[in-house]
A and B are shown apart, each in its own frame.
Chain A
């Protein structure tokens, strides 16, 4: 299996462990990830909060590059990047917008690139195939946290169910884990306010952690670097607002799968978390 790969900025910086675990799991499953050459930032929340054309042009350049480099399909592990690329692709079905963006980019853009997230990559790879390679079942009770960007807007992403999604739960069950019905599966963690409005992030992420912890989760499983950093790196600030501190770790779905496949904690970047991971 060979597929294009767009890591995005977070995965080269504050969320390196996500990148490391994606690469490690891909290697273990013999998926050949071909990193997009000379990729740029997708613009994230900042671009579409500030300027529409910019918010379309940045992702469009990424997709145009992929087309230029002959990629038919790319996997985008970062939920924010995935969302921006998919939404842009949808928006550019509008011909005037497409013309304008082509003019800005000075690059041809076809718009037929297939964009998938990590969960879709693993699903496509096949749960049976994953099952066959498990060496240490991931026997933990966890809360799968999807956040916003992976499932919404449903009309465009068409991924899983918008309320109570199940694809991550299904993967966890495949590797031997137990998942739970909980209340904050798709509630926002505060996203891009991590730096600018830490107070709000602390409040929202706190609610999420509390519900998971109340229901006895041993860990939160995520597929978005923003969610992970808010729930993990901001833990100190969050715990200050809670009656009793919460120490459950927040790990990426690829790290959970990596563990089940017998990949070492270091290789999966588990040492990089603020909240110690002992699973």
Chain B
């Protein structure tokens, strides 16, 4: 694997509001440090996370993705994370069949009490993605679209 020490991966994190978002808050209150590469998008529940958002992230230039929510049985909505788990089983399987690099999506359970787990998860994922290098393979096909900056729509 190439080292890519100067490569700063872009990583987007899809997390649920009740466990992982709160866990990441705890990382903050505990003043634990982690890499700046990961940015969080907040969802009510992992059950809400649309697989298309993951696909669009790669298209938009993400080198890696974190998806994280409540541990089994701890879901605020009782079973959203169980639905998500199934969705990811299937999604991973399809991506793998199509040759998409599934090592770039890190799934995890981080509870509201696991501030240090969140920091570890971020740091590990950044290191993993850094060693994998930029996801040019996918971004190359996206370039074709004359992808420009996103300015939002009104």
A and B touch in the complex (CB under 8 A): no
